[in-house]
Chains A and B, each alone.
Chain A
Amino acid sequence: MTRLPAVLLVLAALICASLTVGAASISILDATRDPQAALVLLESRLPRTLAVVLTGAALAVAGVVLQALVRNRFVGPETTGTAESAALGLLAVTILAPSAPIWAKMGAASLAAMAGTAIFILIIRRLPVREVMLVPIAGLVLSGVLGSVATFVGFQTDLLQYVNSWLMAGEFSGVIAGRYEQLWVAAIAAGLAWFAADRFAILGLGDGVASGLGLSPDAVMRLGLAVVAVVTALVITTVGLIPFVGLVVPNIVARIMGDNLRASIPVVALWGAVLLLGCDLAGRLIRYPYEIPVGMVLGIVGAAIFLWLLYRRPAHG
């Protein structure tokens, strides 16, 4: 059921396409002889392609972990206040310690994202279990509140441009070598989630089952929150908010493979990369040589997929 080889082939084809498509008309096959082509390839095309692949994979994995933690399929890192809290943390460190090194800023953003997601989980624990649709609604409300606080603070401190670059539709046109490498950390965090996949799947069965099997639900929750927070924080600070990847990819894979996360996380990661790279390529080709931000392409494609998912399976949460 996994069809891993097929997904790998699709991804490889997309990567090749991504390396050849761009405003500069060069032939990457000449890269070994033509220094201009080599420069474009190594400084722009390859970093951009890697950034898209890492982001798509990490966000999709963060989504599947988040959905196991909250036991609800209709949430993603962009609808639970995670991204907005990361932006608030980054804003705080930019105002209070503008000269802090980059890793300190990323750390602050991750910690804030973790705190914001923890608040979301505290809120939804008070909701009636059977009302599955209240969970995403609560997440959207929390995202809205945190986002408006970030906008207000950004407006007051003349940092609105920064806030917008984090929370508006993300895009990869600014990615060059040296400005995307943090995404490797996001990918490593997502890889860590794979090692703990059984724990997340067991926690998805309920705190009682997890305790009975000798797990500490709180410890698994903290680990999951850390993964989701680090991935989200690093993605929004590097390329901006990427919607729908963390929401729809886990849903599609769960329909086919179920919630055995140890088997499904690699597939989720690959599909995340395929979806994002496909949308990024579309954004680059539709108005060639101009670009449409991938966040906008995903907004349309992702919404269509999500609506289809909602109508296909209304009964289950």
Chain B
Amino acid sequence: MIRVTGLSHRIGRTPILHEIRTDLPKGKLTALIGPNGAGKSTLLRLIGRLEPLQSGRVTLDGADIAATPTETLALQMAILGQQTAIASRLRLRELVGFGRWPRHRGRPTPTDKDAVTDALRAFALTDLGDRFLDEVSGGQAQRAYLAMTVAQDTDWLLLDEPLNNLDMAHARSLMARLAGLVAGGKSVVTVIHEVNYAAAWADHIVAMKQGRIVAEGPPKAVLNEATLSDLYDTPVTVSSHNGRPLVLHHV
């Protein structure tokens, strides 16, 4: 379990998060949802120690992440931030291979090579393995970064808007893969913009607005008309499909 207590954060003078307190359950697919600027990415980056904590505490299975060496954390959780314009000229196979770096630290074993091959196959990149990162499409690059994160083979995966740039086939296949990882014992925490992906696949939902958590719980408890309309400040209709909530927000 990841436990967050008393977490507040500012960027410059702007408060981003206010006294966040939540538990992210182990062995579940957790979705962070909420409008732009709610603080979802910041919360994920703080949990993933990409930014230093200003106040409050984050523990991973009881251990304080601020007190855990970063190379130890890299064996326990993998985090994928949103990709920026950095154009490194690595072959996709080499990029995914770096996901194994925390394990082999420069001396890859056959196990590491197999893990890379598996990750490439899982994200339909086998044929693109020798292409350079700056010569593939945005969606293919995003899949390569996801494959790198999965290849890290940690108990926890933290993903910041992993559906960015993915077409619907690859988006659905990613969510199915994440659900499969959870079924295999892993825990996934992901920021999701399109609330229906959370409705269809998540086990646990954390809804954030203006730096605060406004609702959390299983999809049926959180994804109702009152909560969502209030969360996004726009009227939302919630229907149902195959026993899961179906959010109609686009018409």
Contact = CB atoms under 8 A, between A and B. Distances in A.
Interface string A294-317: 000000000000000000000011
A259 B88 contact: yes
A148 interface: no
B91 A258 contact: yes
Contact of B78 (A71, A201, A207, A212): A212
Contact of A258 (B48, B78, B94, B102): B94
Contacts of B99: 213
B152 interface: yes
A204 B45 CA distance: 19
A250 to B, nearest CB: 11
Contacts of A206: 81, 84, 86
Given A208-B81, A258-B90, A213 B102 contact: yes
Nearest to A254: B89
Given A198-B101, A260-B94, A212 B74 contact: yes
Interface residues of B, number: 33
A202 B97 CA distance: 11
A130 B81 CA distance: 18
A5 interface: no
Contact of B71 (A208, A214, A316): A214
Contacts of B81: 206, 208-209, 212
B16 interface: no
A73 to B, nearest CB: 9
A315 to B, nearest CB: 9
B70 interface: yes
B86 A201 contact: no
Contacts of B106: 198, 262
Given A208-B81, A214-B74, A216-B70, A201 B90 contact: yes
A262 to B, nearest CB: 8
A71 B102 CA distance: 22
B120 to A, nearest CB: 16
Interface string B100-121: 0110001000000000000000
22 contacts: A129-B85, A130-B85, A201-B88, A205-B95, A208-B81, A209-B98, A212-B50, A212-B78, A212-B80, A213-B99, A213-B101, A214-B70, A214-B71, A214-B73, A214-B102, A215-B71, A255-B89, A258-B89, A258-B91, A258-B132, A260-B94, A316-B87
Interface of A: 71, 129-130, 198, 201-202, 204-209, 211-216, 254-255, 258-260, 262, 316-317
Given A212-B50, A214-B72, 19 more contacts: A129-B84, A198-B101, A201-B98, A204-B86, A205-B88, A205-B90, A208-B45, A208-B79, A211-B49, A211-B50, A214-B73, A214-B74, A216-B70, A255-B89, A259-B88, A260-B94, A262-B106, A316-B89, A316-B134
